[in-house]
Amino acid sequence: MAVLVTGGAGYIGSHTAVVLHEAGRDVVVLDDLSNSSPAAVDALRALTRPDLPFVEADAADVDAVGRAIADHGVDEVVHFAAFKSVSGSIADPDGYHRNNVGSTVGVVEAMRHNGVSRMVFSSSCTVYGEPTDLPVTEDSPISASNPYGATKVACEELLAAEAEAGGLDVLLLRYFNPVGAHASGDLGEDPRGTPDNLVPYLMQVAVGRRESLSVFGDDYDTPDGSAIRDYIHVVDLAEGHLAALDALAADRGSRGCTAVNLGTGTGYSVLDVLAAAGRVIGRPVPHQVVGRRDGDIQRIWADPSLAADLLGWRAGRGLDEMLADHWRWQQRHPDGYAAT
Ligand code: UFG
């Protein structure tokens, strides 16, 4: 039996594929490479097995997903395939809905046609919007603050309804802010164009690809005025998916549809991250404070206790390790996969 990883050539998907392979799962990767690179598949094969099955297809293509399931004896699915840029979603809301919701519909239909019932879904803490109470638990109010977030809310609702109708058991994993890279330095995050996210941008400054990081706002209601997030090592996050699949397979209170936060429970400000990056890299990272970014929330961090109780999973890697691993990847691949 095998696990299908849609979006498995992407940042979180590729790290998860490695962790699942190392745990003894037969992994099948499906990705349309619309926001990832064939070189990521090569890197993944180098870290797993040279003949790791890779299907180049859109996850919205029910027939292609169904064929991948049937051809490889798939009995569980981790569904990552989605666009993830907040600014991209504001520019192209219908495209984001078509891609993110459409792929989820496609995967669910293909699973149903082939009698596959266990799914782990890639959701986001963006579904909490700007929280009023911290830390956020899975029962905190849901409110999308941008079209990307709205697609995650829509997918969660669809999957909950499918589970209610019967035939699907799904864990909705709500990620906080993933950073870091595989310890080898050969698998990592390779954003196309200008990075939206803090750590990829900061690392491109540190490696000399960009001049200076803009810190978006120092007038938030936080101790140093910059915004706070719960940064989590991408390999911890990947291990959370393994724990989720194991919980579904063992039916540990995971029938139906359950949302689970994957975070560390600790918040760091943008200036905390800059200071830690300066320590890890060995020199300060050039930066300047500018105005707030539209659509940003000021503070969020997770209550990760349900993940510990239900999945037996806790994040173990700290901020310095996340940044050191990200830096290793950036140094070994200054121009991302393009140069490999
Ligand atoms: N930031 C900067 N400068 C930058 C980039 C980011 O100061 O160049 C700041 C942001 O303002 C924010 C923090 O760094 O305060 C983190 O920003 P990211 O863009 O790295 O992450 P976000 O928290 O905005 O977004 C992430 C994911 C989204 C997801 C969201 C949920 O990228 O997919 O978390 O809260 F929707």
Going from N- to C-terminal start, the domains of the chain cover 2-180+231-263+302-315
* Residue 298 alpha carbon, nearest atom of ligand 1: 15
**CATH H-level, domain 2-180+231-263+302-315: superfamily:** NAD(P)-binding Rossmann-like Domain (3.40.50.720)
Nearest to 291 by CA among 220, 212, 200: 220
Most ligand 1 atoms within 8 A of CB, residue of 213, 270, 319 to mutate: 270
Distance CA 84, CA 211 (A): 25
* Residue 152 alpha carbon, nearest atom of ligand 1: 36
Most ligand 1 atoms within 8 A of CB, residue of 90, 155, 198 to mutate: 198
Res 167: pLDDT: 86
Nearest residue (CA) to ligand 1, atom 6: 198
Q: Please state the pTM of the whole predicted model.
A: 0.97
* Residue 200 alpha carbon, nearest atom of ligand 1: 20
Distance CA 248, CA 171 (A): 8
Nearest residue (CA) to ligand 1, atom 18: 197
Nearest residue (CA) to ligand 1, atom 31: 126
148 is known as an active-site residue: yes
Nearest residue (CA) to ligand 1, atom 32: 197
CA of 267 to the centre of ligand 1 (A): 13
Residues of the chain scoring pLDDT < 50? none
Distance of CA 178 to the CA centre of its chain: 6
* Residue 84 alpha carbon, nearest atom of ligand 1: 33
Nearest residue (CA) to ligand 1, atom 30: 126
Res 145: pLDDT: 86
Could you write out the three-class secondary structure of the chain? CEEEEECCCCHHHHHHHHHHHHCCCEEEEEECCCCCCHHHHHHHHHHCCCCCCEEECCCCCHHHHHHHHHHHCEEEEEECCCCCCHHHHHHCHHHHHHHHHHHHHHHHHHHHHCCCCEEEEEEEHHHHCCCCCCCECCCCCCCCCCHHHHHHHHHHHHHHHHHHHCCCEEEEEEECEEECCCCCCCCCCCCCCCCCCHHHHHHHHHCCCCCCEEEECCCCCCCCCCCEECEEEHHHHHHHHHHHHHHHHHCCCCCCEEEEEECCCCCEEHHHHHHHHHHHHCCCCCEEEECCCCCCCCECCECCHHHHHHHCCCCCCCHHHHHHHHHHHHHHCCCHHHHC
The count of other CB atoms within 10 Å of the CB of residue 314 is 16
CA of 178 to the centre of ligand 1 (A): 10
Most ligand 1 atoms within 8 A of CB, residue of 125, 177, 214, 287 to mutate: 177
CA of 52 to the centre of ligand 1 (A): 33
Q: Among the options 11, 128, 148, 231, which is catalytic?
A: 148
CA of 295 to the centre of ligand 1 (A): 10
At CA 82, angle to CA 320 and CA 262, rounded to 5?
40
Nearest residue (CA) to ligand 1, atom 24: 296
> Residues with Cβ within 6 A of ligand 1?
84, 86, 124-126, 148-149, 177, 196-198, 201, 213-216, 227, 229, 270, 293, 296
For 56, residues 6+ apart whose C-beta sits below 8 A from its C-beta are 30, 31, 32, 33
